[in-house]
Structure 1
């Protein structure tokens, strides 16, 4: 029998345990299964998904590997506390005040956890094509790179690569292998390039090998990739940053005021 093409396209070709994990993951991420809540029993899941005990256990193991749930054989499986974090990107653009830490670090620590950044590399490189275009670099042009890993309670949460035009970065702390007090927004403002506008382009992607290792990802679940371009006066691009975080653990929240002019 020949299956019509439309029906072929409607088939979910994932293994049943992957499909079960996907549905339960959505329940967790949406809050239907809140932090601390018990997952439905194995008996219930077997009936709901018409699956064997072994298949349900494989699905639950995926969620355990993803650090979304905890539990052991013979005991209830529960949603881990505080696994999903909502990020407010717009709140991190403004420079920190004198002597204050980078705004991301301060915001996370207000949630009662320990946050830190690990500087991985500082160098001059030829950036990816989308970054080069954002910074208006010539063909083969280089930029200053600051490569960092952000951690919460020693767990890697975000891989960050920030690029700066060399005419701005050279001779400044941007090109030095050390932390910058208040972060680069404060430094750029002090150099006469105050951040005026930030534009984000967010996409979901399969993680690269580097991202997979650095973020200790449990599988090839998508990551959230944000390309943020920061502009100063006269719409001059002064920074382009690629930020990558685990897609199953984070969501981004943007807030927009209604346009009164219509």
Structure 2
């Protein structure tokens, strides 16, 4: 039996300052409040949301902590420049050309800012169940893990955990704790495993402790989690990557044509 919702059930139970921040956050992400634009004054926000000065200030503090706006006491609060970035996965899947850096770095740089990566770990590991299933591993099976954080303008933007079949990775530069020229897509192509198909599964999740710390988050706003499976010839999976980025700072853009 379905119980109809009451008015109380439909009520937004978040505190008022969280609701104020949520509405302003949406206007920033949609472009209604563009980079560099001033937010409405405290007086205007108080009237709009029927809120006290303290409530408005708490909402603005949240947005400042989330790196969406900047401002000093007594000064106008403005939307930070280049905050929301649109990432286009298809643009950096292919191997880098000779002499070029890892394509994520190159594509991120095109959007402005300094992009770099920091390799945190290279080890044999038991992957999460969804990664193990994508790689076709048996229960308790291991894969090579390469874990890194990607930065733009020295701010962490993405935690990346990539897993590779050991029969492919052993004896290659992937097993070493050092960066690979052109990135692993380039090395895989050189080894005879060029990317032919990539499948993404994207979900929004509450950040784990690891993600919260690595991305220097300030609240439990969802992260965008992407599980990417890269297939080579004969639909063989050669790389499975789990990527997490702050959901309030980034969006994904997929481009395709009808078959």
Shorter-chain TM-score above 0.5: yes
Write out aligned runs for 1:1-262 (5 A).
5-259=5-259
What's the TM-score, normalizing by structure 2?
A: 0.97
SS state of the match for residue 164, structure 2?
strand
Instruction: Compute the displacement of 1:114 (Å).
Output: 1.1
Separation in structure 2 between the aligned mates of residue 5 and residue 201 of structure 1, nearest angstrom: 32
Instruction: Compute the displacement of 1:91 (Å).
Output: 1.1
In structure 2, the gaps of 5 or more residues are none
1:5-39 Cα deviation digits (max 9, x unpaired) = 43232111100000000000000000000001000
1:158-217 Cα deviation digits (max 9, x unpaired) = 000000001001111111111000001110011011100000000000000011011000
In structure 1, the gaps of 5 or more residues are none
1:203-239 Cα deviation digits (max 9, x unpaired) = 0000000110110001111000000000000000000
- Structure 1 stretches (4+) deviating beyond 3 angstroms? none
1:13-68 Cα deviation digits (max 9, x unpaired) = 10000000000000000000000100011111111101011101100110011111
SS state of the match for residue 8, structure 1?
coil
What's the TM-score, normalizing by structure 1?
A: 0.96
**Higher mean C-alpha deviation, range 137-146 or range 7-16:** 7-16
Aligned length: 256
Separation in structure 2 between the aligned mates of residue 182 and residue 72 of structure 1, nearest angstrom: 42
